[in-house]
A and B are shown apart, each in its own frame.
Chain A
Amino acid sequence: DVKVTQSSRYLVKRTGEKVFLECVQDMDHENMFWYRQDPGLGLRLIYFSYDVKMKEKGDIPEGYSVSREKKERFSLILESASTNQTSMYLCASKRGGIYNQPQHFGDGTRLSIL
């Protein structure tokens, strides 16, 4: 079974802080994704990565950056946290090149910015 592990289930930070959300997958997947989930909006893609050190912006990248130094780890960085970044963050991974394979998700991090 694929395991996608997010470092924290709940996190509370202050405005202006630099925040790191970590995600690790154990199935050697090429593609990794970061989403945020807000009520009434579903999941929205922030960034994704299709290989080590490769990244592309998703639909809502403003205020975020990412890092993928190793294949199994994909980090989401909030450069200077703001209250409108309070949300549920979900990481996912998927095997590359196989179009009908689903994404596998972590359990999510509920982030509160005070």
Chain B
Amino acid sequence: AQKITQTQPGMFVQEKEAVTLDCTYDTSDPSYGLFWYKQPSSGEMIFLIYQGSYDQQNATEGRYSLNFQKARKSANLVISASQLGDSAMYFCAMRGLNAGGTSYGKLTFGQGTILTVHP
């Protein structure tokens, strides 16, 4: 079974500063992937960044980067130069393999972290 844990129910950051959102995971799958999504108050889920378990480098996508520490089973999202529009719920999710060694892309989600950016 897979598990994703986001221990920060809420986080606050000042505009233009960087913020780290924590995500730890547990899996016995030999290969897996980690996704981060953003959910504004309007409700839509927006894909931000992906990290594969065998990727040699940490993923980056614009102001988003992923601090992937495989031995610690953590995949923290770093948002640099925060903007007011970054205020939203953020979800960490994992894709693993099923018992047959395949994956239909099923995701296991964490509880989410609400980020508030102050001006």
Q: Which residues of B contact A108 (CB under 8 A)?
A: 43-44
> With A31-B104, A94-B105, A96-B104 in contact, do A41 and B111 touch (Cβ < 8 Å)?
yes
**Residue pair A40, B111 in contact (C-beta under 8 Å):** yes
Residues 85-119 of B at the A interface (beta carbon under 8 Å): 91, 93, 95, 103-112
The interface bits of chain B over 1-20 (1 if a CB of A lies within 8 angstroms of the residue's CB, else 0) are 00010100100000000000
Main secondary structure of the interface of A (DSSP, over half): strand
Q: Which residues of B contact A105 (CB under 8 A)?
A: 37, 44-45
The size of the chain B interface, using a CB distance under 8 A, is 27
Binding stretch for chain B, among A43-51, A63-71, A74-82:
A43-51
Complexed CA–CA distance, A100 and B6 (Å): 22
Complexed CA–CA distance, A94 and B91 (Å): 18
**Residue pair A50, B104 in contact (C-beta under 8 Å):** yes
**Residue pair B104, A48 in contact (C-beta under 8 Å):** yes
**How far in angstroms is the closest Cβ of chain A from B63?**
18
**How far in angstroms is the closest Cβ of chain A from B116?**
16
**Residue pair B110, A42 in contact (C-beta under 8 Å):** yes
Decide yes or no whether A84 CB sits under 8 A from chain B: no
The size of the chain A interface, using a CB distance under 8 A, is 29
Residue of A nearest to B43 (CB): A108
Partner of B43, one of A31, A88, A104: A88
Q: Which residues of A contact B4 (CB under 8 A)?
A: 42
Complexed CA–CA distance, A48 and B43 (Å): 21
A residues adjacent to B (C-beta < 8 A): 31, 33, 35, 40-45, 48, 50, 56, 58, 88, 90, 92, 94, 96, 99-108, 110
Q: List 11 A-B contacts (CB under 8 A).
A: A33-B107, A35-B109, A42-B4, A43-B109, A45-B107, A45-B108, A58-B106, A100-B33, A101-B105, A104-B47, A108-B43
B residues adjacent to A (C-beta < 8 A): 4, 6, 9, 31, 33, 35, 37, 42-45, 47, 50, 52, 91, 93, 95, 103-112
